[in-house]
Amino acid sequence: MQIGKRASFGVFVSISLGLCLAQAANADNDLNALSDMFSYNGFGTVGIARSDTDQAVWVQNIQTYGATNKNFDYRTDSRLAVQGTVTPTQWLSGTVQALTEERYGPAMSTQLEWAFVMVKPLPDLSVRAGRMELPTFLISDTRNVGYANLWLRAPDEVYGQPIFDVYTGWAATYQREVGPYSMSFNVLSGTSISDTELAPGVQRRIIGHKMLGYNATLERNGITIRVSRVTTDRTHEEYGITYPALSWSFDSAGVIYDRHDLVLQGEFIERRTSNPAINVNGYYLLGGYHLGKWTPYTLYSVGETIGGADGTIPFASMHVVSVGVRFDAFKNVDLKAQIEHATAYQGGTPFENQTTGFNNHGNIASFVVDLVF
């Protein structure tokens, strides 16, 4: 696994944040013991994938390198993250998370996913400021943590649609227990930047300005319901040209049922902009059953363009049918195997570099080891 040059920057920021908060802590008489101030954890996935065709390359999200029938691709699902937290007082903490994974280049690269300070003025209220995960989905905070999820990977037909994954700004969260119910409400504001590589040395930059977001979660006895909405003004830069701003909104609603050995999960998303050509819907349905340490599951996911209001944008869809199994081998370690049949957009996602004769279909076999520490 090759670590990108940005890793040193992530380490520098992590150390700097820790030192700054540590200095503030020294001036506070209510400090915890020094050994209790710092904590760390992390997660990782090591995986391989292979498709049954050499007429196209199977990729996920913004990746440009993936699997064919001539290679075992280890980059699509493999990742490693380390997270550190310093808590000088009960009401103040700082968190940094660095994540190494494949993005839009052939090498694994490291960048900061989280770098924020959190203040808790009240027991049920927290306010964060800095760089954070955009809480767009049912499992936004754990989407990269393979061990925390039943599936081998999040379905790209839904989780690959928002463009923006992280943002810089602030968020306020109110959590409350009411009888058997646990409720959470979140509001956020900030700016997000998404970079992809169109060609070697040529980047496309999409910027979300004046971003606003809201989400709410309700939990009870293994049942979780979550709804969210994010809006922003979106600008687009490539080849030295800045295109006019578009309105952009992303809505999602999802449910998890995990009781009595049965696991059911589903989510629907809707992306809308002032350009009908990039408006999409998506959804998935997941079902599994716990059999001791084994959990077989099946997953069906769909992503589709919805066409312009005047019917000038052609309808297109991609869908994936997957079957897999999870085996909880050891404490904090699981093994997963998954086989899926993918039907692509005409000439596009999730198959790139298509050659003449490709029929927009492919089968992919994957195997991963997930761990947390």
For 51-69, what is each residue's pLDDT tens digit? 999 999 999 888 878 899 9
- Residue 314 confidence (pLDDT): 60
- Higher-pLDDT residue of 359 and 172 is 172
Can you tell me the distance from the alpha carbon of 245 to that of 366, in angstroms, rounded to the nearest whole number?
Answer: 39
> Which pLDDT does position 310 carry in this prediction?
53
Residues with Cβ < 8 Å from 61, sequence gap 6 or more? Answer: 156, 159, 160
Mean pLDDT over 242-248 rounds to 89
Phi then psi dihedrals of residue 125, to 5 deg: -125, 130
Cis peptide before 155 (omega within 30 of 0): no
Is the pLDDT confidence value at 19 over 50? no
Phi, psi (degrees; rounded to nearest 5) at 276 = -60, -20
Higher pLDDT, 34 or 48: 48
Q: Tokens standing for 272?
A: 């809308």
**Residue 4 predicted with pLDDT over 50:** no
- The pLDDT of residue 283 is above 70: yes
pLDDT at 177 over 90: yes
Q: What percent of the chain has pLDDT over 90?
A: 67
Report how far residue 296's alpha carbon sits from residue 287's, in angstroms, rounded to the nearest whole number. Answer: 9
Q: Which residues contact 152 (CB under 8 A, 6 or more apart)?
A: 47, 77, 146, 322, 324, 336, 337, 338, 366, 368
pLDDT at res. 1: 36
Report the run of H or E that residue 281 belongs to, with start and end. Answer: strand 280-289
SS3 labels along 7-56: HHHHHHHHHHHHHHHHHHHHCCCCCCCHHHHEEEEEEEEEEEEEECCCCC
Q: What is the pLDDT of residue 367?
A: 98
Residue 193 has pLDDT above 60, yes or no: yes
Q: Rounded CA gap, 352 and 57, in Å?
A: 5
Confidence of residue 5 (pLDDT cuts 50, 70, 90): very low
What is the pLDDT averaged over residues 199-223? 91
Cβ-based neighbours of 262, under 8 Å, separated by 6 or more: 288, 289, 290
For residue 311, is pLDDT > 60?
no
Q: How sure is the predictor about 33, in pLDDT bands with cuts at 50, 70 and 90? A: low
**Which of the pair, 312 or 303, is modelled with greater confidence?**
303
**How is residue 311 written in tokens?**
């019917």
Listed by start position, the domains of the chain span: 6-372
User: Tokens at residue 112, please?
Assistant: 């900061």
pLDDT of 185 > 80? The answer is yes
Asked if 111 and 98 count as a contact pair (C-beta separation under 8 A), the reply is yes
Q: Which residue blocks in the chain are alpha helix, DSSP H?
A: 6-26, 34-37, 156-159
Would you say 263 and 286 are in contact if contact means Cβ atoms under 8 Å apart?
A: yes
Second CATH level (architecture) for the domain 6-372: Beta Barrel (2.40)
Q: Is 155 exposed, middle or buried (0-12, 13-18, 19+ CB in 10 A)?
A: buried
* Cα(235)–Cα(246) distance, integer angstroms: 7
At 315-360, the pLDDT tens digits run 678 899 999 999 999 999 999 999 999 998 765 678 888 888 888 8
- Compute CA distances 123 → 45, 87, 128, 135, 171, whole Å: 34, 15, 14, 21, 16
CA diameter of the chain? 72
**Both tokens of residue 152?**
């081998």
